[in-house]
Amino acid sequence: MPVDHLTHHANTIGDRLAVIDDRGNQHVRKLDYTSFNALTNRVANGLANLGIQPDDHVAWWGENSLETLCAMHAIRKAGAVSVPIPYRSTDVEATYLLGNADAVAVLVDATYAENVARIASDLPHLRSVIVFEGEPAHQSQVRFDDMLGEPTTPAAEGQVATTRTMIYTSGTTGRPKGAIRRVGGVANEFNALLEHLGMSALNPLVFLTTGPLYHSGPSGFSLRAQVLGGTIVTQHHFDAEDWLRLVDTHGVTCTFSAPTPVRRITTLPADVKQRYDLSTMRCFIANAAPWTMTLKEAYLADFPTDSLWEVYGSTELSVCTALAPQDQLRKPGSCGLPAPGVEIELHDEDGGLITEPHVPGELYARSAALFETYHKAHDRYLEDHRDGFQTVGDMAYRDEDGYFYICDRKKDMIITGGVNVYPAEVENALDAYPNIGEVAVIGLPDGEWGEAVCAVVVPLDGYDEDAFRAFAAQQLSGPKRPKRIVTMDELPKTGTGKVLKRDLRTTI
Protein backbone atom coordinates (compact mmCIF):
# COMPACT_ATOMS: atom_id res chain seq x y z
CA MET A 1 0.00 0.00 0.00
CA PRO A 2 1.32 3.50 -0.78
CA VAL A 3 2.26 5.64 2.20
CA ASP A 4 0.21 8.82 2.66
CA HIS A 5 2.40 11.87 2.09
CA LEU A 6 1.66 13.32 5.56
CA THR A 7 2.74 10.05 7.14
CA HIS A 8 5.87 10.09 4.97
CA HIS A 9 6.71 13.65 6.03
CA ALA A 10 6.11 12.83 9.70
CA ASN A 11 8.61 9.97 9.37
CA THR A 12 11.25 11.93 7.42
CA ILE A 13 10.95 15.67 8.16
CA GLY A 14 8.82 15.49 11.28
CA ASP A 15 10.25 18.61 12.94
CA ARG A 16 9.55 20.85 9.91
CA LEU A 17 6.59 23.21 10.36
CA ALA A 18 3.50 21.98 8.54
CA VAL A 19 1.03 24.73 9.52
CA ILE A 20 1.19 28.24 10.94
CA ASP A 21 -2.18 29.69 12.03
CA ASP A 22 -1.41 33.38 12.63
CA ARG A 23 -4.32 35.77 13.24
CA GLY A 24 -2.27 38.72 14.43
CA ASN A 25 -4.08 39.55 17.67
CA GLN A 26 -4.14 35.96 18.93
CA HIS A 27 -1.59 33.36 19.93
CA VAL A 28 0.17 31.99 16.86
CA ARG A 29 -0.40 28.26 16.56
CA LYS A 30 2.29 26.17 14.91
CA LEU A 31 2.41 22.42 14.30
CA ASP A 32 5.29 20.46 12.83
CA TYR A 33 4.64 17.51 10.52
CA THR A 34 4.83 14.94 13.35
CA SER A 35 2.19 16.76 15.41
CA PHE A 36 0.02 17.71 12.42
CA ASN A 37 -0.01 14.14 11.12
CA ALA A 38 -0.92 12.83 14.57
CA LEU A 39 -3.81 15.32 14.86
CA THR A 40 -5.00 14.42 11.37
CA ASN A 41 -4.93 10.73 12.27
CA ARG A 42 -6.94 11.43 15.44
CA VAL A 43 -9.62 13.23 13.41
CA ALA A 44 -9.71 10.48 10.75
CA ASN A 45 -10.03 7.77 13.42
CA GLY A 46 -12.66 9.86 15.20
CA LEU A 47 -14.69 9.97 12.00
CA ALA A 48 -14.43 6.18 11.73
CA ASN A 49 -15.61 5.87 15.35
CA LEU A 50 -18.68 7.94 14.38
CA GLY A 51 -19.49 5.38 11.71
CA ILE A 52 -18.02 7.17 8.70
CA GLN A 53 -17.25 4.61 5.99
CA PRO A 54 -14.99 4.86 2.94
CA ASP A 55 -16.78 6.70 0.11
CA ASP A 56 -19.16 8.49 2.51
CA HIS A 57 -19.49 12.19 1.75
CA VAL A 58 -18.11 14.36 4.57
CA ALA A 59 -18.32 18.16 4.39
CA TRP A 60 -16.30 20.85 6.09
CA TRP A 61 -17.39 24.44 6.65
CA GLY A 62 -15.11 27.12 8.03
CA GLU A 63 -12.70 29.93 7.33
CA ASN A 64 -9.02 29.23 6.74
CA SER A 65 -7.49 27.68 9.84
CA LEU A 66 -5.38 24.86 11.16
CA GLU A 67 -8.58 22.88 11.74
CA THR A 68 -9.99 23.30 8.23
CA LEU A 69 -6.67 22.21 6.72
CA CYS A 70 -6.61 19.25 9.11
CA ALA A 71 -10.19 18.32 8.15
CA MET A 72 -9.27 18.20 4.47
CA HIS A 73 -6.46 15.73 5.15
CA ALA A 74 -8.42 13.70 7.73
CA ILE A 75 -11.36 13.09 5.40
CA ARG A 76 -8.91 11.76 2.80
CA LYS A 77 -7.21 9.52 5.37
CA ALA A 78 -10.61 8.19 6.42
CA GLY A 79 -11.25 7.18 2.80
CA ALA A 80 -14.27 9.49 2.57
CA VAL A 81 -15.18 12.11 -0.07
CA SER A 82 -14.29 15.66 1.01
CA VAL A 83 -16.97 18.31 0.31
CA PRO A 84 -16.06 21.94 1.10
CA ILE A 85 -18.90 24.35 1.88
CA PRO A 86 -18.33 28.08 1.19
CA TYR A 87 -18.39 29.74 4.59
CA ARG A 88 -20.52 32.66 3.40
CA SER A 89 -23.33 30.29 2.36
CA THR A 90 -26.86 31.28 3.25
CA ASP A 91 -29.16 28.69 4.81
CA VAL A 92 -30.77 28.11 1.41
CA GLU A 93 -27.41 27.65 -0.32
CA ALA A 94 -25.99 25.40 2.40
CA THR A 95 -29.15 23.26 2.42
CA TYR A 96 -28.79 22.74 -1.31
CA LEU A 97 -25.07 21.93 -1.16
CA LEU A 98 -25.20 19.56 1.82
CA GLY A 99 -28.39 17.95 0.54
CA ASN A 100 -27.22 17.55 -3.03
CA ALA A 101 -23.93 16.11 -1.74
CA ASP A 102 -25.72 13.56 0.51
CA ALA A 103 -23.30 14.59 3.25
CA VAL A 104 -23.44 12.26 6.26
CA ALA A 105 -21.20 14.44 8.43
CA VAL A 106 -19.88 17.98 8.55
CA LEU A 107 -16.94 19.48 10.43
CA VAL A 108 -17.93 23.08 11.06
CA ASP A 109 -16.37 26.18 12.58
CA ALA A 110 -18.36 27.24 15.66
CA THR A 111 -19.12 30.51 13.85
CA TYR A 112 -21.40 28.55 11.51
CA ALA A 113 -22.63 25.84 13.89
CA GLU A 114 -25.95 27.67 14.36
CA ASN A 115 -26.42 27.71 10.57
CA VAL A 116 -26.13 23.92 10.51
CA ALA A 117 -28.49 23.59 13.47
CA ARG A 118 -31.15 25.62 11.64
CA ILE A 119 -31.08 23.48 8.50
CA ALA A 120 -30.31 20.02 9.95
CA SER A 121 -33.96 18.90 9.82
CA ASP A 122 -33.91 19.42 6.04
CA LEU A 123 -30.87 17.14 5.63
CA PRO A 124 -32.00 13.51 6.06
CA HIS A 125 -28.55 12.06 5.32
CA LEU A 126 -26.70 14.18 7.90
CA ARG A 127 -25.82 12.08 10.97
CA SER A 128 -22.87 13.86 12.61
CA VAL A 129 -21.97 17.52 13.15
CA ILE A 130 -18.51 18.17 14.64
CA VAL A 131 -17.81 21.71 15.88
CA PHE A 132 -14.30 23.16 16.11
CA GLU A 133 -12.96 26.42 17.53
CA GLY A 134 -15.88 26.84 19.93
CA GLU A 135 -18.94 25.24 21.41
CA PRO A 136 -21.76 23.37 19.65
CA ALA A 137 -24.97 25.26 18.88
CA HIS A 138 -27.20 22.23 19.51
CA GLN A 139 -27.12 19.21 21.78
CA SER A 140 -26.91 16.91 18.77
CA GLN A 141 -23.58 18.46 17.74
CA VAL A 142 -20.21 17.12 18.95
CA ARG A 143 -17.19 19.08 20.16
CA PHE A 144 -14.07 18.60 18.04
CA ASP A 145 -11.93 17.61 21.04
CA ASP A 146 -14.50 15.04 22.15
CA MET A 147 -14.54 13.15 18.82
CA LEU A 148 -10.79 12.67 18.44
CA GLY A 149 -9.60 9.08 18.14
CA GLU A 150 -6.17 7.53 18.49
CA PRO A 151 -3.13 9.06 16.69
CA THR A 152 -2.37 5.76 14.97
CA THR A 153 -2.49 5.32 11.20
CA PRO A 154 -6.17 5.10 10.11
CA ALA A 155 -7.29 1.77 8.72
CA ALA A 156 -8.46 3.41 5.47
CA GLU A 157 -5.24 5.31 4.81
CA GLY A 158 -3.88 2.70 2.42
CA GLN A 159 -6.97 3.12 0.23
CA VAL A 160 -6.06 6.69 -0.68
CA ALA A 161 -5.76 5.78 -4.36
CA THR A 162 -9.54 5.33 -4.52
CA THR A 163 -10.64 8.38 -2.51
CA ARG A 164 -12.30 11.41 -4.07
CA THR A 165 -13.01 15.08 -3.46
CA MET A 166 -16.16 16.85 -4.56
CA ILE A 167 -15.87 20.60 -5.03
CA TYR A 168 -18.91 22.54 -6.14
CA THR A 169 -18.41 24.82 -9.09
CA SER A 170 -18.81 28.53 -8.43
CA GLY A 171 -22.19 28.62 -10.10
CA THR A 172 -21.50 31.79 -12.08
CA THR A 173 -23.74 30.53 -14.89
CA GLY A 174 -26.19 28.32 -12.99
CA ARG A 175 -26.70 26.20 -9.88
CA PRO A 176 -23.46 24.78 -8.47
CA LYS A 177 -22.52 21.27 -9.57
CA GLY A 178 -20.35 18.89 -7.57
CA ALA A 179 -17.23 18.08 -9.58
CA ILE A 180 -15.81 14.73 -8.45
CA ARG A 181 -12.05 14.32 -8.68
CA ARG A 182 -9.77 11.43 -7.77
CA VAL A 183 -7.30 12.15 -4.94
CA GLY A 184 -5.00 9.17 -5.36
CA GLY A 185 -1.91 9.78 -7.44
CA VAL A 186 -2.02 13.54 -6.98
CA ALA A 187 1.69 13.70 -6.24
CA ASN A 188 2.56 11.98 -9.51
CA GLU A 189 0.04 13.94 -11.56
CA PHE A 190 1.26 17.32 -10.40
CA ASN A 191 4.99 16.83 -9.88
CA ALA A 192 5.77 18.05 -13.40
CA LEU A 193 3.58 21.14 -12.92
CA LEU A 194 5.15 21.97 -9.55
CA GLU A 195 8.60 21.65 -11.08
CA HIS A 196 7.55 23.84 -14.02
CA LEU A 197 6.30 26.58 -11.68
CA GLY A 198 9.44 26.32 -9.57
CA MET A 199 7.55 25.33 -6.42
CA SER A 200 9.49 22.12 -5.92
CA ALA A 201 12.78 24.05 -5.96
CA LEU A 202 11.75 26.58 -3.30
CA ASN A 203 13.76 26.27 -0.11
CA PRO A 204 11.99 27.05 2.07
CA LEU A 205 8.56 26.50 0.55
CA VAL A 206 6.24 28.68 2.64
CA PHE A 207 2.76 28.95 1.11
CA LEU A 208 0.23 31.60 2.18
CA THR A 209 -3.50 30.93 1.71
CA THR A 210 -4.63 33.99 -0.24
CA GLY A 211 -8.31 33.19 -0.61
CA PRO A 212 -10.70 30.66 0.91
CA LEU A 213 -9.66 27.04 1.13
CA TYR A 214 -13.11 25.90 0.02
CA HIS A 215 -12.15 27.01 -3.49
CA SER A 216 -10.28 24.57 -5.71
CA GLY A 217 -7.38 26.97 -6.42
CA PRO A 218 -6.24 27.94 -2.91
CA SER A 219 -6.96 24.45 -1.56
CA GLY A 220 -5.33 22.67 -4.48
CA PHE A 221 -2.09 24.59 -4.29
CA SER A 222 -2.03 24.44 -0.47
CA LEU A 223 -2.31 20.67 -0.60
CA ARG A 224 0.29 20.47 -3.36
CA ALA A 225 2.64 22.56 -1.26
CA GLN A 226 2.24 20.02 1.53
CA VAL A 227 2.84 17.17 -0.90
CA LEU A 228 6.26 18.82 -1.28
CA GLY A 229 6.71 19.14 2.50
CA GLY A 230 6.10 22.90 2.56
CA THR A 231 4.76 25.06 5.36
CA ILE A 232 1.23 26.46 5.05
CA VAL A 233 0.46 29.86 6.57
CA THR A 234 -3.31 30.22 6.96
CA GLN A 235 -4.84 33.69 6.81
CA HIS A 236 -8.18 33.33 8.60
CA HIS A 237 -9.90 35.87 6.37
CA PHE A 238 -8.41 38.31 3.92
CA ASP A 239 -7.13 41.71 4.96
CA ALA A 240 -4.68 43.46 2.65
CA GLU A 241 -2.25 44.90 5.20
CA ASP A 242 -2.40 41.79 7.38
CA TRP A 243 -1.51 39.79 4.26
CA LEU A 244 1.63 41.92 3.89
CA ARG A 245 2.43 41.31 7.56
CA LEU A 246 2.18 37.55 7.09
CA VAL A 247 4.48 37.61 4.05
CA ASP A 248 7.04 39.65 5.97
CA THR A 249 6.78 37.79 9.29
CA HIS A 250 6.96 34.25 7.92
CA GLY A 251 9.11 34.76 4.82
CA VAL A 252 6.36 33.60 2.46
CA THR A 253 7.78 32.34 -0.84
CA CYS A 254 4.65 31.16 -2.68
CA THR A 255 0.93 31.87 -2.97
CA PHE A 256 -2.05 31.68 -5.30
CA SER A 257 -4.54 34.49 -5.77
CA ALA A 258 -7.54 35.80 -7.66
CA PRO A 259 -7.35 39.41 -8.92
CA THR A 260 -9.42 41.04 -6.16
CA PRO A 261 -7.01 40.50 -3.22
CA VAL A 262 -4.05 41.68 -5.30
CA ARG A 263 -5.94 44.77 -6.38
CA ARG A 264 -6.53 45.61 -2.71
CA ILE A 265 -2.89 44.95 -1.82
CA THR A 266 -1.37 47.00 -4.64
CA THR A 267 -3.70 49.96 -4.03
CA LEU A 268 -2.65 50.31 -0.40
CA PRO A 269 -0.86 53.61 0.33
CA ALA A 270 2.84 53.49 -0.55
CA ASP A 271 3.90 54.21 3.04
CA VAL A 272 1.91 51.16 4.21
CA LYS A 273 3.50 48.84 1.65
CA GLN A 274 6.97 50.12 2.49
CA ARG A 275 6.67 48.80 6.04
CA TYR A 276 6.90 45.21 4.86
CA ASP A 277 9.58 43.13 3.15
CA LEU A 278 8.11 41.37 0.11
CA SER A 279 11.38 40.24 -1.40
CA THR A 280 10.93 36.60 -0.30
CA MET A 281 8.07 36.03 -2.77
CA ARG A 282 9.39 33.71 -5.49
CA CYS A 283 6.28 32.10 -6.99
CA PHE A 284 3.04 34.08 -7.11
CA ILE A 285 0.40 32.16 -9.07
CA ALA A 286 -2.33 34.29 -10.65
CA ASN A 287 -5.64 32.64 -11.45
CA ALA A 288 -9.37 32.27 -10.57
CA ALA A 289 -10.23 35.10 -12.98
CA PRO A 290 -8.14 36.90 -15.62
CA TRP A 291 -5.69 39.55 -14.42
CA THR A 292 -5.69 42.71 -16.51
CA MET A 293 -2.40 44.16 -17.70
CA THR A 294 -2.94 47.15 -15.42
CA LEU A 295 -3.12 44.85 -12.42
CA LYS A 296 -0.07 42.88 -13.52
CA GLU A 297 1.94 46.08 -13.87
CA ALA A 298 0.84 47.16 -10.39
CA TYR A 299 1.95 43.79 -8.99
CA LEU A 300 5.32 43.95 -10.72
CA ALA A 301 5.93 47.40 -9.24
CA ASP A 302 5.70 45.98 -5.70
CA PHE A 303 7.03 42.41 -5.96
CA PRO A 304 10.04 40.64 -7.51
CA THR A 305 9.60 40.82 -11.26
CA ASP A 306 10.51 37.16 -11.77
CA SER A 307 7.90 35.89 -9.31
CA LEU A 308 4.65 36.22 -11.28
CA TRP A 309 3.12 33.19 -12.95
CA GLU A 310 -0.35 32.99 -14.41
CA VAL A 311 -2.27 29.77 -14.87
CA TYR A 312 -5.57 29.04 -16.54
CA GLY A 313 -7.75 26.25 -15.25
CA SER A 314 -10.98 25.40 -13.50
CA THR A 315 -12.42 23.16 -10.82
CA GLU A 316 -13.18 20.56 -13.48
CA LEU A 317 -10.10 20.81 -15.72
CA SER A 318 -7.45 21.64 -13.10
CA VAL A 319 -4.46 23.64 -14.43
CA CYS A 320 -4.41 23.75 -18.24
CA THR A 321 -1.89 26.46 -19.15
CA ALA A 322 0.90 28.44 -17.52
CA LEU A 323 2.42 31.80 -18.45
CA ALA A 324 6.00 32.22 -17.22
CA PRO A 325 7.35 35.39 -15.57
CA GLN A 326 9.38 36.39 -18.64
CA ASP A 327 6.21 36.33 -20.76
CA GLN A 328 3.94 38.45 -18.56
CA LEU A 329 4.60 41.69 -20.45
CA ARG A 330 5.82 40.08 -23.67
CA LYS A 331 2.52 38.27 -24.23
CA PRO A 332 -0.17 40.65 -22.93
CA GLY A 333 -3.52 38.95 -22.44
CA SER A 334 -2.14 35.43 -22.77
CA CYS A 335 -2.67 32.68 -20.20
CA GLY A 336 0.35 30.83 -21.52
CA LEU A 337 1.37 27.52 -23.04
CA PRO A 338 -0.14 24.12 -22.19
CA ALA A 339 0.95 22.94 -18.74
CA PRO A 340 3.04 19.74 -18.53
CA GLY A 341 0.95 16.69 -19.41
CA VAL A 342 -1.99 18.72 -20.78
CA GLU A 343 -3.36 18.53 -24.32
CA ILE A 344 -5.58 21.37 -25.59
CA GLU A 345 -7.87 21.55 -28.60
CA LEU A 346 -10.08 24.36 -29.91
CA HIS A 347 -13.36 23.51 -31.65
CA ASP A 348 -15.79 25.62 -33.65
CA GLU A 349 -19.57 25.59 -33.20
CA ASP A 350 -19.90 22.60 -35.53
CA GLY A 351 -17.29 20.61 -33.61
CA GLY A 352 -14.57 21.14 -36.18
CA LEU A 353 -10.96 21.33 -35.00
CA ILE A 354 -9.42 24.81 -35.21
CA THR A 355 -5.71 24.83 -36.03
CA GLU A 356 -5.27 28.36 -37.40
CA PRO A 357 -3.92 31.10 -35.11
CA HIS A 358 -6.18 33.92 -33.89
CA VAL A 359 -9.40 31.98 -34.57
CA PRO A 360 -11.55 31.68 -31.41
CA GLY A 361 -13.04 28.35 -30.47
CA GLU A 362 -14.27 26.45 -27.45
CA LEU A 363 -11.35 25.15 -25.39
CA TYR A 364 -11.17 21.42 -24.61
CA ALA A 365 -8.46 19.90 -22.40
CA ARG A 366 -7.23 16.38 -21.68
CA SER A 367 -4.92 15.32 -18.84
CA ALA A 368 -4.63 12.89 -15.96
CA ALA A 369 -5.92 15.63 -13.64
CA LEU A 370 -9.37 16.04 -15.21
CA PHE A 371 -12.36 15.54 -12.96
CA GLU A 372 -14.40 12.34 -13.37
CA THR A 373 -18.03 13.51 -13.45
CA TYR A 374 -20.61 15.78 -11.86
CA HIS A 375 -22.42 14.36 -8.84
CA LYS A 376 -25.97 13.43 -9.87
CA ALA A 377 -25.43 15.16 -13.22
CA HIS A 378 -23.41 12.79 -15.39
CA ASP A 379 -25.45 13.96 -18.36
CA ARG A 380 -23.97 17.44 -17.95
CA TYR A 381 -20.50 15.88 -17.87
CA LEU A 382 -21.21 14.02 -21.11
CA GLU A 383 -22.55 17.18 -22.78
CA ASP A 384 -19.13 18.77 -22.32
CA HIS A 385 -17.08 15.67 -23.18
CA ARG A 386 -15.42 14.91 -26.51
CA ASP A 387 -13.19 11.86 -27.04
CA GLY A 388 -11.40 12.17 -23.71
CA PHE A 389 -11.31 15.98 -23.82
CA GLN A 390 -13.47 18.14 -21.57
CA THR A 391 -14.69 21.75 -21.71
CA VAL A 392 -16.21 24.21 -19.26
CA GLY A 393 -17.40 26.49 -22.04
CA ASP A 394 -14.45 28.89 -22.23
CA MET A 395 -13.61 30.49 -25.56
CA ALA A 396 -9.96 30.90 -26.53
CA TYR A 397 -7.56 31.33 -29.43
CA ARG A 398 -3.85 30.63 -29.87
CA ASP A 399 -1.22 32.84 -31.48
CA GLU A 400 1.51 31.87 -33.93
CA ASP A 401 3.78 30.80 -31.05
CA GLY A 402 1.18 28.49 -29.52
CA TYR A 403 0.27 30.77 -26.60
CA PHE A 404 -3.38 30.67 -25.58
CA TYR A 405 -5.68 33.62 -24.90
CA ILE A 406 -9.00 33.24 -23.12
CA CYS A 407 -11.66 35.33 -24.84
CA ASP A 408 -14.39 34.62 -22.31
CA ARG A 409 -16.90 32.08 -21.16
CA LYS A 410 -18.99 30.95 -24.11
CA LYS A 411 -22.13 31.83 -22.17
CA ASP A 412 -20.84 35.38 -21.53
CA MET A 413 -20.03 36.17 -25.15
CA ILE A 414 -21.99 39.17 -26.47
CA ILE A 415 -23.40 39.17 -30.00
CA THR A 416 -24.12 42.78 -30.96
CA GLY A 417 -25.18 43.57 -34.49
CA GLY A 418 -23.93 40.15 -35.55
CA VAL A 419 -20.44 40.79 -34.12
CA ASN A 420 -18.99 38.54 -31.41
CA VAL A 421 -17.67 40.61 -28.50
CA TYR A 422 -15.72 38.94 -25.72
CA PRO A 423 -16.18 40.75 -22.37
CA ALA A 424 -12.71 39.85 -21.10
CA GLU A 425 -11.09 41.79 -23.97
CA VAL A 426 -13.26 44.85 -23.28
CA GLU A 427 -12.66 44.65 -19.52
CA ASN A 428 -8.92 44.44 -20.03
CA ALA A 429 -8.98 47.64 -22.10
CA LEU A 430 -11.31 49.60 -19.82
CA ASP A 431 -9.47 48.59 -16.64
CA ALA A 432 -6.59 50.84 -17.70
CA TYR A 433 -8.76 53.93 -17.09
CA PRO A 434 -7.24 55.43 -13.92
CA ASN A 435 -10.39 56.53 -12.07
CA ILE A 436 -12.20 53.21 -11.73
CA GLY A 437 -11.64 50.46 -9.18
CA GLU A 438 -13.16 47.61 -11.18
CA VAL A 439 -15.19 47.03 -14.31
CA ALA A 440 -17.35 44.17 -15.53
CA VAL A 441 -18.82 43.91 -19.03
CA ILE A 442 -22.09 42.15 -19.82
CA GLY A 443 -24.55 42.00 -22.71
CA LEU A 444 -28.05 43.40 -22.24
CA PRO A 445 -31.04 42.88 -24.57
CA ASP A 446 -31.31 45.61 -27.19
CA GLY A 447 -34.03 46.07 -29.79
CA GLU A 448 -31.69 47.41 -32.44
CA TRP A 449 -28.49 45.44 -31.88
CA GLY A 450 -29.78 42.23 -30.33
CA GLU A 451 -27.43 42.77 -27.40
CA ALA A 452 -25.74 45.95 -26.23
CA VAL A 453 -22.37 46.09 -24.50
CA CYS A 454 -22.82 47.35 -20.93
CA ALA A 455 -19.92 48.35 -18.67
CA VAL A 456 -20.57 48.14 -14.93
CA VAL A 457 -18.06 50.37 -13.18
CA VAL A 458 -16.92 50.84 -9.58
CA PRO A 459 -15.90 54.54 -9.68
CA LEU A 460 -13.01 56.15 -7.81
CA ASP A 461 -12.47 59.81 -6.98
CA GLY A 462 -12.22 61.83 -10.16
CA TYR A 463 -14.39 59.50 -12.23
CA ASP A 464 -16.18 61.27 -15.08
CA GLU A 465 -18.48 59.32 -17.38
CA ASP A 466 -17.86 61.48 -20.43
CA ALA A 467 -14.10 61.10 -20.01
CA PHE A 468 -14.55 57.36 -19.52
CA ARG A 469 -16.56 57.13 -22.75
CA ALA A 470 -13.86 59.07 -24.60
CA PHE A 471 -11.22 56.71 -23.21
CA ALA A 472 -13.27 53.69 -24.34
CA ALA A 473 -13.57 55.17 -27.83
CA GLN A 474 -9.77 55.45 -28.02
CA GLN A 475 -9.21 51.87 -26.88
CA LEU A 476 -12.00 49.91 -28.56
CA SER A 477 -13.58 49.58 -32.00
CA GLY A 478 -17.25 50.47 -32.43
CA PRO A 479 -19.01 47.17 -31.57
CA LYS A 480 -16.89 46.75 -28.43
CA ARG A 481 -17.55 50.21 -27.00
CA PRO A 482 -20.06 50.24 -24.14
CA LYS A 483 -23.44 51.56 -25.24
CA ARG A 484 -24.50 51.70 -21.61
CA ILE A 485 -22.47 52.49 -18.50
CA VAL A 486 -23.69 51.74 -14.98
CA THR A 487 -21.92 52.59 -11.71
CA MET A 488 -22.04 50.44 -8.58
CA ASP A 489 -20.33 50.68 -5.19
CA GLU A 490 -19.24 47.05 -5.43
CA LEU A 491 -19.51 44.25 -7.98
CA PRO A 492 -21.31 41.08 -6.82
CA LYS A 493 -18.80 38.24 -6.53
CA THR A 494 -18.41 34.66 -5.47
CA GLY A 495 -16.29 34.01 -2.42
CA THR A 496 -13.31 33.45 -4.69
CA GLY A 497 -13.53 36.80 -6.46
CA LYS A 498 -15.33 35.85 -9.67
CA VAL A 499 -17.88 38.45 -10.74
CA LEU A 500 -21.42 37.08 -10.74
CA LYS A 501 -22.48 38.34 -14.13
CA ARG A 502 -25.84 36.63 -13.96
CA ASP A 503 -26.60 38.80 -10.91
CA LEU A 504 -25.59 41.90 -12.85
CA ARG A 505 -27.89 40.93 -15.71
CA THR A 506 -30.88 40.49 -13.40
CA THR A 507 -30.31 43.69 -11.39
CA ILE A 508 -29.48 46.18 -14.15
Q: Which of 55, 124, 59, 47 is nearest to 94 (CA)?
A: 59
* pLDDT at res. 182: 84
pLDDT at 494 over 80: no
Is pLDDT of 245 > 80?
yes
Does residue 275 fall inside a structural domain?
no
Instruction: For residue 146, give every residue at least 6 positions away whose Cβ sits within 8 Å of its Cβ, in sequence order, or none.
Output: none
pTM of the model: 0.86
Contact (CB, 8 A) for 14 and 33? yes
| Structural domains in the chain (count) | 2
Find the mean pLDDT for residues 425-437: 90
pLDDT in tens, 404-417: 998 877 778 888 87
**CATH for 480:** 3.30.300.30
Q: Is residue 477 included in any domain, yes or no?
A: yes
pLDDT digits (tens, 9 = 90+) for 276-287: 999 999 999 998
- pLDDT digit string (tens) for 95-147? 999 999 999 999 999 999 999 999 999 999 999 999 999 999 999 999 999 99
Q: What is the mean pLDDT of residues 300-304?
A: 97
**Cα angle vertex 24, ends 21, 27, to 5°?**
60
Q: Under a CB-based contact definition with an 8 Å cutoff, are residues 392 and 172 in contact?
A: no
> Residue 412's pLDDT is what?
81
Q: Is the pLDDT of residue 447 over 80?
A: no
Q: Is residue 273 part of a domain?
A: no
Is 101 within a domain? yes
CA distance 37 to 6: 6
Which of 144, 168, 192 is at the close of a domain?
168
Residue 425 confidence (pLDDT): 80
**Does residue 120 fall inside a structural domain?**
yes
Dist. CA 46–CA 52, nearest whole Å: 9
CA distance 494 to 489: 16
Give the pLDDT band of residue 187 (cuts 50, 70, 90).
very low
**Is residue 186 one of the residues assigned to a domain?**
no
Q: What is the pLDDT of residues 375-384, one digit of tens each?
A: 999 998 999 9
pLDDT, one tens digit per residue, over 310-349 is 999 988 999 999 999 999 999 998 999 999 999 999 999 8
Domain end point (choices 168, 186, 205): 168
pLDDT at 173 over 60: no
| Average pLDDT of every residue of the chain | 91
Question: What amino acid is encoded at 91 in this protein?
Answer: D
Residue 34 lies in a domain: yes
Share of the chain above pLDDT 70, in %: 95
**Where residue 82 falls among pLDDT bands split at 50, 70, 90?**
very high
Residue 330 lies in a domain: no
Owning domain of residue 97:
1-19+27-168
Query: ∠ at Cα 62 (59, 63), nearest 5°?
Result: 140
Q: CB-based contacts of 321: which residues, under 8 Å, 6+ apart?
A: 311, 312, 313, 335, 336, 337, 338, 339, 342, 344, 404
Contact status, residue 80 vs residue 48, Cβ threshold 8 Å = no
DSSP state of 175: S
Span 448-467, average pLDDT: 92
pLDDT of residue 80: 94
The CATH number for 114's domain is 3.40.50.12780
Last residue of a domain, one of 150, 168, 186: 168
